[in-house]
Each structure stands twice: as C-alpha cells, then as structure tokens.
Structure 1
Amino acid sequence: MFPDRLKAAQAGVQAALDAALASRAEVPVVQAMRYTLQGGKRLRAFLVLESAALHGIAAEGAMPAAAAVEALHAYSLVHDDLPSMDDDDLRRGQPTIHVKWDEATAVLAGDALQTLAFELLCDPALGPAERRIALVRALALASGAEGMVLGQALDIAAETAPRALTLDEITALQAGKTGALIAFAATSGALLAAADPAPLAAYAKALGLAFQIADDILDVEGDPAKAGKALGKDAAAGKATFVSLLGLEAAKARARALVAEAEAALEPYGAKAEALREAARFVVDRDA
C-alpha cells in the first residue's frame, strides 16, 4: 500500500510543481527553482495527501497544499546547503544550486520557492478562504522563527557553543528544524476539513523525531551514494547528535519506540490510516 501511494504522491506533486512554474520566464532563478524541485522522497507531500484522505478529501482537493510543503522544503534545502550554513556541494546526488549556478542565484531561488509555497496555498481548490488562511498561518508558523528557521538557527549556534547540546536541547532543536514541517504536512488534512488535528499532531511529533534519529544513524552508517550527499559531517565537526549521546544501538531502539508511538496515535482512524503507519516504519527502515 505505502509504496504505491508514495509513488502516486511523487508523480502528482511533481506535475503540480511543474505546472506552477510552466509560465515563468526562462531565467536562471527559475531554472534553479525547477532544478531543485526535481526528485526527493516527497514524504511531506504524501503526508498532506494521506491526512486529507483520512477526512474524505480527494487528492485534487489537497494537491496544492502538498506542492506547497514541498516547495517550502526545497527552499530550506537550498539555503541549508549555502556556504554560510552547511556548505554542501551535493544534494540528491546532484550539485547544489550555489555550485551549479552561484550563491546569489541560490539565495534568490530559495526566496522564490518560499513565496511559491504561499502562492500555492491560495489555490481555490483547497476550499473556502478561511481554510486557506488557516493553512497559510500554519505553514508560516511551522517554517518561521517558531519552527524550522528557529531550529536551523539553533543548529548553527551549536557549532560554536562552548559545550555540546544535551539530549533535551537536541530534541527541541530538531522539533523545529525537521519536525515542524512534518507536523504541518501531517495535520493539514485536518485543517482542510476543519477537523480535530490532535491525533495527527501526536503522530507527527513522534514521526518527526524518528525521522531525525534515522538521519543521524544514516550519517554514521549510511551509503553516500544512496544518500546523494556527504555523510559523516556531524561527527567530523564534533556536533552532538542522537547517536553521539545515546549510542548507535540505543538510538535505533529509540527510533523504533517512536514509530510505535506514531502508530498508536493513529488508532482513532482505524484501518484507514494503514498507509501512514507504513510511512512511519519506512522512516526508520530507509537507507537514504
């Protein structure tokens, strides 16, 4: 079930993103946007579509939100890779934007991808204006100085901090950097339906943390060819991670326990949420 639904989400959101850029001028910044919107797991888009399906909303009624969260995620990756941040040369097995073009184009492409996300959330296909406004507010909070941007700022600050972060501090950091956007994606279906998002919020909280622990594990024992990016950078920089603080086996056990939490949170939805349960298992079993 999950692999087929993930592939459908990947194809649908790619078509939506391609359509959103189809009429744009063929200039370097748009070329860079189009380049960075290719590929990826599209897990966040999948979460949008599946959370919508739980509430009886068809894919076409949620696709602009799925495309929006992927555009926002793409912006974050472009900026994260910049020399002033993580200074990465590879992303998804391809040169990063500042390497393929230049740093100014990367900054501007990231900016434009962020604004594209909010443009997509204005699509009437998402329903009444009040629903769209709720989505805009939720994505703004998830991606700004109370969410993803805060997490990234804390991560950068940790590189020059006089001491390593504690487990609680890393958990809070990653709840912003990785978890906030996952939480938006997983709860957006409830927002579209004006339903209670609490079960999906609990699912997303566990899923986001499991995702990050899995990333830390892959940074230690993953295959760079499969990951499509450099690995081992956290250890080389002496950064505290879930693996460095818990140990490799304990980190794996913690990730599995979080998957169980995520699955339990979906109990109110019964069998309808099976694809989301499989997604939680995929998060810790993936090799990239």
Structure 2
Amino acid sequence: MAELRHIPVMLGEAVEGLAVHAGGRYLDGTFGRGGHARAVLSRLGPEGRLLLMDRDPAAIAAARAEFAGDPRVAIRHANFAELAEWDETAPGLDGILLDLGVSSPQLDEAARGFSFMADAPLDMRMDTSRGESAADFLAHADEREIADVLWTFGEERFSRKIARAIVARREESPIARTGELAALIERVVGRREPGKHPATRSFQALRIRVNRELDALRQGLDAALSRLKPDGRLSVISFHSLEDRAVKLFIRDHSGRVQGSRRGPPVAAAPARLAAVGKAQFPSDEELAANPRARSAVLRVARKLPDGEAA
C-alpha cells in the first residue's frame, strides 16, 4: 500500500512554541507520520535528544523505518499517557509536543474504521494491538451507556434515539461495519445539517470512548508536568472543544491563580507551576486553504515555571 499522506497541522507554530535549542531533550508524544518530529530534529545538534511515542503500531513502524538509525532518536510504542513511565524521560524534558485526535492516515485507511466515508469494519482503535473495538462496545453496552457516550463525547442531541435504534438493530444482528452504523444514524436523524453527515458526532463520540482519549489526555498532561524541566515547554494541538477545554483548564489550574466563583468564597491557589505562553492560536487562512482538516485546530503553549517564579 502506498504511504498515506499526512500534513502536519500548525507545524511552524507548534514547533516554535517548544523554543527548541540544539542540545535539548524533547518528546513528540503523537508521532503520527513525523511531520512535527522532523521539524524538531532539524533544530537539534549532535547532543540533542528526540523521544518519539505513538499508540498506533503503524505510526511506530513508520518512525522506526525513518529514524531508527539516528543516535539522537529513541522510539517507544505506547500511549503518551505513559510518558513518565519511560526511562528516557527520567532526566527531564525541555519540551513536549502533543498533536491530539485522529491522524490523516488513520482516517484515510478505510480498514481502520474511523470514517463513515467508506464501508469497513467498525474498529476505531488507535492501538490495533489491544482493547475493544467500536463494534465490540456497541455489542455489549446498554442503551443508556451508548446514549451517554454519544451525548458526552459527541454532543449529539439525538443520542437517545440513536442508542435506542442501535440496541433494536443488534437484536437482529451485530452492527459490525461503518456503513451499517452510518446508514442507521442517517435513518434515525435525517440530514439536518447542510454539508455535515448526520453520523459525524456519533463517530467522534465512539472514537473518543474506544480510545479513552480524554482519560489519556488528563493522564498525559499530569505526566508531562512531572517530566518537564524548569522553563520546559508544553505545546498541545487539539481538535474539538472537549480536548481544548481540558488543556486550557490544566494550564489555568497550575498557574497559581486563586480559583472560585461569585457564589462561593475563593479557593486557595496551589503554587504556580505553569504559565501560558501567549493566547490560543489557530490555523492561518493559508493553512486552511491548503489543509481543510486543520479547520478545528487550536494550539496552546505553556512554560513550566522554576520554583518560586510567579506565573
């Protein structure tokens, strides 16, 4: 099979956010097909170190094929949530890059089951070596759990109707293919949003649930903070509001600001450990014209504060 094309999103902005220096130690926790990693590596000297992680075996195979011979590079097949468990991160990191969500190769390879644009097995696992597929989940989850997933992770307002239809349909036979699920959802809710397939929100929700993406993000952010050196940078690209909110709140909650609301007393702030670097960034018009898949991207950058420095 020909290598599927992947255009790295917000490449310049994300790498600039890391403030790479030639002798630094950096981790790309979502290698994908290496666009961001190549840009970081191009800025490293002989003493620099680049650590590459991905939960997708195909991405790790691509990383090994390209970088295994470079003594500056180390590669690990794992979820970035586990980055603090890798001995290579123990000396501390000068920068960590996370490019969240599903990659273009995952979307474009029909057999992975991420897209409703082609009929394929209903898989959706980023790590195909472990865990249950979307088809497995839909085969055993009860109606309420399915509805909760579609609403919580997809903000699908017809979640209950879709869940009811899925449970009724599987009494006849399991839903095993993307085409079956997409057609069922379209029958239930119709074409209500011009230019948007009615299964879009449900497919996103199932993918997030199958891959435990928000849990991995929360764990990964905690691990990143524990491994960043003072003045180290965290650069995170997210693609939907649930991810971006988690990143935004993580930076805020570690900024040392007093938390509270108008309805209650202020809550004492924890010591400041992070400071936002600038505001949220978005793709340029030029990038959107060249790569429409970047349209929902948001980049946030933070710096780990040395002990005693205020945010």
State if a TM-score over 0.5 links the two structures: no
| Greater share of strand | 2
**What TM-score, normalized to structure 1?**
0.31
Which structure is larger by alpha-carbon Rg, 1 or 2? 2
**What TM-score, normalized to structure 2?**
0.29
| Greater share of helix | 1
